[in-house]
Amino acid sequence: MQKRVTILAGVAFLLCLAWVLPASGWLNPYLVMIFMYVGINMILTLSLNLVNGYLGEFSVGHAGFMAIGAYVSAILTVWVLPRPWAPWLFPLVLVAGGLVTALAGLVVAFPSFRTRGDYLAIVTLAFNMIVKSILENLEILGGPRGFLGMPRLTNLPWVVAWVLITLFLCRNLVYSNVGRGLMAIREDELAANLTSVDTRRLKIYAFLISAFFAGIAGGLFAHLLQFINPRSFSILKSTDMLVMVYLGGVGSLTGSLLGAAIFTLLLEALRPLGLWRWVVGPLLLILLMIFRPHGIMGFREAPWLRTVSREP
Amino acid sequence: MFPIIAQNILNALQLGSVYALIALGYTMVYGILTMINFAHGDIFMVGCYLSLAAALFLLGLPLHLPAGLIFLGALLFSMLLTAILGVAIERLAYRPLRQAPRVSAVITALGVGLFLENFTLAILGPEPRHFPPLIAMTPWQVGGLSLTLLQLLILIVTALILVLLDLLVRRTLMGMAMRAISDNRPIVPLMGVSVDRVISFTFALGSAIAAAGGLLYGLAYPVLDPYMGIRIGWWAFISAVVGGIGNIRGAMLGGFILGAVEILTPMVLPSSTYRDFVAFSLLLLLLVFKPTGLLGRPLFERV
């Protein structure tokens, strides 16, 4: 009970902070922008960790999901909704984008019944490339030039709120029966099947939910940048997400938050290095994999994200 | 109509040759380590730049070497250095992860690929470099077809490499060791074969072949930039998967299929921008219906 009160107070405090800090001018707009990127990356990392960390599959194409969420929500605010309504309906727009993305998640979920491991990784890769290629060829959406005209609806309170919602839902999912089932599939799919885990249904859930959150993050990204083009969602973006997941730690929510924060802030901090910062990043990744292959928090959680252990 | 189709088939063979050469590297490493070496496209890129450096150096010498010698020199130089690069990458980045979860190795490979790209970019800058024309591009007219010496050279060099590789894998002791490792890895050390040496040899071989592909590609499509390895690497990778990854003849077949897809797509569809879409849809369909590729061994994972 006491833990719940503490957590609720923490959430309220964070939201207030996210609202007060930019509004009062204590945080300059550049820092606010970076914090928003950190938040969006946290959502993406949590989403990818569901598939790569908990389900134990290897998705290399999450930028494809993000692209769908970004384009769908951008289309809604630019073409469908009247401009004055957009700020009020922004959460619904994001959810709509997420739902469409979740449907796209089925494209990857169904092949995952028959193929696993490397071959499923290739399926996700192909999915990413196909989404990018379709967007590049849809002249109505601007083709390779991109799509613009979205109002800047993403702000720090919204980002923080969505990070908290994503974290809350992921945490409850991970500790639910579904989450246990996903981890059982990760350890041994055959054994999971034999202990009456409905592997197919759970795989569909995992991809649906993961795609949903990637779509939300895409929507936030689109309404932060106010400009999206297919190249923003290339395989390089997917690689960034992989780096964040494996930096923070697979199968760990704390790790996802940490990984996203460290990676985003580190890339900003290395900005003075110019082109060389893109050399340092991959080098860090290689060293990390060699010396700490499970990442910083692999398969471990911070105390406040653990389940309450019930003493008998 | 016939000459147009024949001409396109010729162009497809030219491009398919390069894809086949790079696909071989993916497939050999996969066959031996069951690991997708995502850095291979960038090893190809480095090979391409190294052969450019060698060609420019030899052209700059006041000896007026004949073009054939320059070609040969660039080929040997880039194959040698790229082979060393491949072995070094395996030794430094992949070998420490031999016992780690397989995903770590794949992530590392992605990291190595990004490192090679960005390192090249940081050193050479973003401007594309141009490959000097070494081989005459004047076309000969053969029965309505135009054929250049370069195209002929690409086809001959590729065929030579493919035949030699096939002989190496099927007829030599090293080839036998390679096949043994991909068949049953735990048994091989018991037979007195040094697995590490065979793996190093495979990386050297795959990288050297990619460098040869790099030189041929540079001659045929003479604009190089540090990110060129990404797209070509992915296409070669699809080739390897389409043919059945781990299968050397499959990689050759897949390379030519993908070359045909890239050249023939603009003939059927309105614009060449659809080629990625076609290639990856083909890959997706193939994986759904024949998950181990055209020539790959079927998996028996389900009990």
pTM score of the predicted model: 0.87
B274 with A133: Cβ contact below 8 A: yes
Whether residue A311 has pLDDT greater than 60: no
Residues 108-127 of A with CB under 8 A from B: 111, 114-119, 121-123, 125-127
Listed range (A174-183, A299-308, B9-18) with the worst mean pLDDT: A299-308
Across the range B194-223, mean pLDDT stands at 94
Sign of CA dihedral A284, A285, A291, A295: positive
ipTM: 0.81
CA atoms within a 13 Å half-sphere pointing along the CA-CB vector of A264: 24
Whether residue A25 has pLDDT greater than 80: no
B39 touching A (Cβ < 8 Å): no
pLDDT tens for residues A248-262? 988 899 999 999 999
Across the range A87-100, mean pLDDT stands at 94
- CA distance linking residue B265 with residue A51, whole number of Å: 34
pLDDT tens for residues B176-187? 999 999 888 888
Apex B274 CA angle, B276 and A145, nearest 5: 95
CA distance, residue A68 to nearest chain B CA (Å): 16
- The position carrying tokens 């957590």 is A7
> Best residue in B230, B241, B273, B280 to probe A by mutation, most A CBs within 10 Å?
B280
Residues of chain B found within 8 Å of residue A285, distances taken between Cβ atoms: 107-108, 110-111, 114
Compute, in degrees rounded to 10, the torsion defined by CA atoms A190, A192, A193, A195: 130
pLDDT tens for residues B90-142? 999 999 988 887 778 888 898 899 999 999 999 998 889 998 888 767 778 77
**CB of B235 closer than 8 Å to CB of B40:** no
Mode of pairing for the β-strands spanning B140-142 and B145-147: antiparallel
Whether residue A21 has pLDDT greater than 60: yes
Question: Would you state the pLDDT for residue A308?
Answer: 60
Question: Would you state the pLDDT for residue A149?
Answer: 87
- Phi and psi at A204, nearest 5°, equal -60, -45
Across the range A233-250, mean pLDDT stands at 88
Question: Would you state the pLDDT for residue B56?
Answer: 92
B285 touching A (Cβ < 8 Å): no
**Beta strands per DSSP E along chain A:** 147-148, 227-228
- Chain A residue with Cα closest to B124: A275
Compute, in degrees rounded to 10, the torsion defined by CA atoms A159, A164, A167, A169: -110
Q: How confident is the model at residue B1 (pLDDT cuts 50, 70, 90)?
A: low
pLDDT tens for residues B11-61? 899 999 999 999 999 999 998 888 889 999 999 999 999 999 999 999 888
- CA distance linking residue A295 with residue A26, whole number of Å: 34
Question: Would you state the pLDDT for residue B301?
Answer: 45
CA distance, residue B104 to nearest chain A CA (Å): 6
Among the partner-chain residues B36, B104, B115, the one whose CB lies closest to the CB of A279 is B115
Residues of chain A found within 8 Å of residue B96, distances taken between Cβ atoms: 290
> Best residue in B38, B95, B104 to probe A by mutation, most A CBs within 10 Å?
B104
Among the partner-chain residues B110, B115, B280, the one whose CB lies closest to the CB of A129 is B280
Query: By C-alpha distance, which of A62, A49, A50, A298 is closest to A181?
Result: A50
Residues of chain B found within 8 Å of residue A137, distances taken between Cβ atoms: 271, 273-274, 277
**Beta strands per DSSP E along B125-174:** 129-130, 140-142, 145-147
- CA distance linking residue B254 with residue B243, whole number of Å: 5
What's the fold here for domain B2-289?
ABC transporter involved in vitamin B12 uptake, BtuC (1.10.3470)
pLDDT tens for residues A105-162? 998 888 888 777 777 888 898 899 899 999 998 888 988 899 988 889 898 999 999 9
Q: Please state the domain extents for chain A.
A: 33-234
Residues 278-307 of A with CB under 8 A from B: 278-279, 281-283, 285-286, 289-290, 293
Judging by beta carbons within 10 Å of its beta carbon (0-12, 13-18, 19+), is residue B52 exposed, middle or buried? buried
- Phi and psi at A147, nearest 5°, equal -125, 130
Q: How many CB atoms lie within 10 A of CB A275?
A: 13
pLDDT tens for residues A198-226? 999 999 999 999 999 999 999 999 999 99
Whether residue B273 has pLDDT greater than 80: no
Token pair recorded at residue A266: 């580190």
Across the range B163-169, mean pLDDT stands at 93
CA distance, residue B68 to nearest chain A CA (Å): 37
CA distances from B70 to B55, B93, B221 (A): 6, 33, 18
- Of residues A41 and A196, which shows the higher confidence score? A41
pLDDT tens for residues B228-267? 998 899 899 989 988 888 888 899 999 999 999 888 888 7
- Chain A residue with Cα closest to B238: A122
CA distance, residue A276 to nearest chain B CA (Å): 6
pLDDT tens for residues B52-91? 999 999 988 887 788 888 999 999 999 999 999 999 999 9
Q: How confident is the model at residue A4 (pLDDT cuts 50, 70, 90)?
A: confident
A187 touching B (Cβ < 8 Å): no
Whether residue A75 has pLDDT greater than 50: yes
Among the partner-chain residues B30, B101, B288, the one whose CB lies closest to the CB of A293 is B101
B36 touching A (Cβ < 8 Å): yes
Question: Would you state the pLDDT for residue B129?
Answer: 92
Across the range A61-73, mean pLDDT stands at 95
- CA distance linking residue A232 with residue B295, whole number of Å: 36
- Chain B residue with Cα closest to A136: B273
B122 with A279: Cβ contact below 8 A: yes
R_g (Cα) of chain B, nearest Å: 19
Token pair recorded at residue A15: 């939201």
Q: Please state the domain extents for chain B.
A: 2-289
B104 touching A (Cβ < 8 Å): yes
